[in-house]
Amino acid sequence: MGVKVSMTVNGKQVSSEVEERTLLVTLIREQLRLTGTHVGCDTAQCGACTIAMNGKAVKSCSMLAMQAEGADIMTIEGVAKPDGTLHPMQAAFKENHGLQCGFCTPGMVMNAIDFAKRHPNASEQEVREALDGNLCRCTGYHNIVKSIMAGSKAMAAGK
C-alpha cells in the first residue's frame, strides 16, 4: 500500500505516493523526473546520487523516501539561479575542467557545495579527504580538486 510523502524540492512543494521501501533517489529520478541525480552503485559508495537535504549533502540511495518527509531537498537542478547563471561551484568545475563524462559531476558538485560551506579555507588534502565518498572513473581527481578549491574561494567571496 502506498504512503504519501511531502517535501520541498528545489523550492517547490511536492507530494507523492511511494511504497514504504521506495528509496529517495527513486522518488527523485522516477517520480519527480529529476534525472540529474545519478545512480552509480547499489552500495552507497559512489556518491553519484548526492543531494542536499536540509542543507547537508546526503546520498539519496541510502535513504528511504519516507525519511525525507517534510524536508527541504535540493538536487543539482536547483543549484543554478533561475535565469541559468551557474552556482560558483558549477562555474569552477566548468572553468577548471573538473569533468569528463560528467556522470559523477552532479554528486561531486552537491558534496562540494556542502563541504565548501563548512570549510571555506580547506587545504588540498582536506578536499581530497572530503571526496572519499565520491568516485570518478575519468578524471584522476586532479581537476576536481582544483575546481573545488576555486569554487570554495568563490563561494567564500560571495560570488
Cβ proximity to ligand FES, 12 vs 137, nearer residue: 137
Listed in sequence order, the residues at least 6 apart from 45 whose beta carbon sits closer than 8 Å to its beta carbon are 133, 135
Cβ proximity to ligand FES, 35 vs 156, nearer residue: 35
CB of 157 vs ligand FES, minimal distance in Å: 26
Cβ proximity to ligand FES, 2 vs 140, nearer residue: 140
Return d(Cα 155, Cα 3) in angstroms, integer: 39
What is the C-alpha end-to-end distance of the chain, expressed in Å? 47
CB of 29 vs ligand FES, minimal distance in Å: 10
CA angle 18, 81, 47 (to 5 degrees): 50
Query: Could you give the count of Cα atoms lying within 13 Å of 6 in the half-sphere of its Cβ?
Result: 1
Contact 78, 10 (CB under 8 A): yes
Return d(Cα 43, Cα 97) in angstroms, integer: 28
CB of 51 vs ligand FES, minimal distance in Å: 10
Cβ proximity to ligand FES, 80 vs 101, nearer residue: 101
Residue numbers of the site for ligand FES (CB under 6 A)? 39-41, 44-49, 59, 61, 99-104, 136-139
CB of 13 vs ligand FES, minimal distance in Å: 25
